Amino acid sequence: MEAATSLAPAHHTVLALTGELCLAELPGVRDRIEAAVEAGATTLVIDLAATTLVTAAALRVFESAGQRLEAQGGALVLRNPAPLARQVLEITGLDRLLEPCPAA
């Protein structure tokens, strides 16, 4: 898993993840999310366009981060999930919690 972080408008951070978001990669994903929140991100957009696998464990990380940001008045948005990942988000109800959105 590789990740690139960019700052968009104030307090809006885009985290572009690549590769497989499997159990072995999740500590790095958590660290990048934590760093973005600690740096002041109130809206965190996670771009999944270049991911090849998004596991249930990764969805739990996103859900937890989304709840944390919401508690602080912010939001977590998933962008460009693959069709299968989008379907899993819809089935689990996480599509409403994390607000997946099409590419801008």
Helix (H, G, I), strand (E, B) or coil at 55: coil
Q: How far is CA 22 from the centre of its chain?
A: 14
For the chain, strand residue ranges (E) read 2-7, 12-21, 43-54, 75-79
What pLDDT, in 10s, does the model give residues 64-94? 999 999 999 999 999 888 888 888 888 888 8
Tokens of 81: 């999930």
Pick the CATH number of 2-98 from 3.40.718.10, 3.30.300.30, 3.30.750.24, 3.60.10.10: 3.30.750.24
Question: How confident is the model over 39-53, as pLDDT tens digits?
Answer: 889 999 999 989 888
Every domain of the chain and the residues it spans: 2-98
What pLDDT, on a 0 to 100 scale, did the predictor assign at position 104? 46
Residues 6+ apart with CB under 8 A from 97: 63, 66, 67
Record the pTM.
0.80
